[in-house]
Amino acid sequence: MYTPQFKITNTILTNIGIIEAAREVINRAPLLPYYEKKFQEDALVRTVHYGTHIEGNELDLTQAEKVVQGQTIIARERDIQEVINYRKVMEYLDEIDTSSKPLDESLIKHMHTLVVEHVIPEETAGIYRRPSVVIRNSHTGEIVFRPPQAVIVPFQIADLLEYLNITKPEDLHPVLKAGIAHYEFVRIHPFVEGNGRLARALSTLILFREGYDIRKFFSLEEFFDKDLPAYYGALQSVEKNNSDLTEWLEYFTKALAVELTRIKEKVEKISADGKIKQKLGGKPFLMSERQMKIVEFIQENGYLENKAFKSLFPMISEDSILLDLKSLINAGVIRKQGVTKGVKYVMNS
């Protein structure tokens, strides 16, 4: 059976500590359904865009978002199809992430057919590769590493799946398990095309199934794509270190730690600051981005007048801003002073 080699370093422990702390905050945050959906939609778009961009997809984030939302854009057909396919993979993960069904070849092959639908010949989808291949950096063309011979692919995939199925959370932290699955799947490179996307989807599936879905707010793909040399370098480190995954796992845990820290800070910012919570009896008031900007402006300047609306929100109607103010007043966050043109909005001290 497959047995990964790695050491638990202080870096890995630190990263997992950050992950656990952020996970706790995010999972406990009392978000309104609007914000819950917004975070999940944002994570899906980033996952799909950056997950395909890593492999050379030329759509930008805005174009990918439109495709994810079902809108029509003018671009290379293959790029559009890859985004559609990866969105389908992520939707499929939502359907199966809580299943107790073991990971098996049929699942892997089905995910592969979703990844490559209408991109490669239909008869090769879900079929292990027959030729020998090399893995190249999609942007530089540099050979990253050489996967094993095709004849041993089925056996190595079976070994990996057996390891993933028998390894429980009490035996290995789910984040490390996800990182191991990611690397080993890329190393085996079982299909002619789509292996990188499938490896990242598999690691996400493992996190989802083992209690680390974290409300489906995160996207590891963005971290990888922002610095591709570091991503490929971390993958290559395993072979350079005689099959030791330690350096790769330090990188993988850092990726999730950075992403969850960003999400945690965003979640915390949606709630008013500690003083406002205290005034509301400790109950958090969940503000929109405009409302947060209003509160920050009043805290910095002492008050807000109607004449400042245009400079603060140049593209927003006065009626919309007044509705935001009314909501803040009703919640007891701010109060209104004066009447008509002399009205000012101040913090509710």
The pLDDT tens digits for 240-259 are 999 999 999 999 999 999 99
- Domain extent listing, the chain: 10-270, 274-347
Name, in order, each residue with C-beta under 8 angstroms of 91's C-beta and a sequence gap of 6 or more.
none
Q: Residue 146: phi, psi to the nearest 5?
A: -110, 115
Name, in order, each residue with C-beta under 8 angstroms of 184's C-beta and a sequence gap of 6 or more.
2, 4, 160
* Strand order from edge to edge, sheet including 344-347: 304-305, 344-347, 334-337
The pLDDT tens digits for 140-152 are 878 777 889 999 9
Rounded-to-integer distance, Cα 91 and Cα 87, Å? 6
pLDDT in tens, the chain (349 residues): 899 999 999 999 999 999 999 999 999 887 666 678 888 999 999 999 999 999 999 999 999 999 999 999 999 999 999 999 999 999 999 888 666 778 999 999 999 999 999 999 999 999 999 987 877 776 787 877 788 999 999 999 999 999 999 999 999 999 999 999 999 999 999 999 999 999 999 999 999 999 999 989 999 999 999 999 999 999 999 999 999 999 999 999 999 999 999 999 888 776 555 555 555 555 556 677 788 788 888 887 889 999 898 888 888 888 999 999 998 888 888 899 987 778 999 987 7
Rounded-to-integer distance, Cα 32 and Cα 34, Å? 5
Angle of the 174-188 helix axis to the 246-270 helix axis, nearest 10: 130
3-state DSSP call for residue 209?
Answer: helix
Element (H, E) at 304: strand 304-305
Q: Are 305 and 339 in contact (CB under 8 A)?
A: no
pLDDT value, residue 137: 72
CATH architecture of structural domain 10-270: Orthogonal Bundle (1.10)
Assigned CATH class of 274-347: mainly alpha
pLDDT value, residue 276: 59
- Closest-CA residue to 329 (of 278, 276, 283): 276
- Closest-CA residue to 225 (of 4, 29, 46): 46
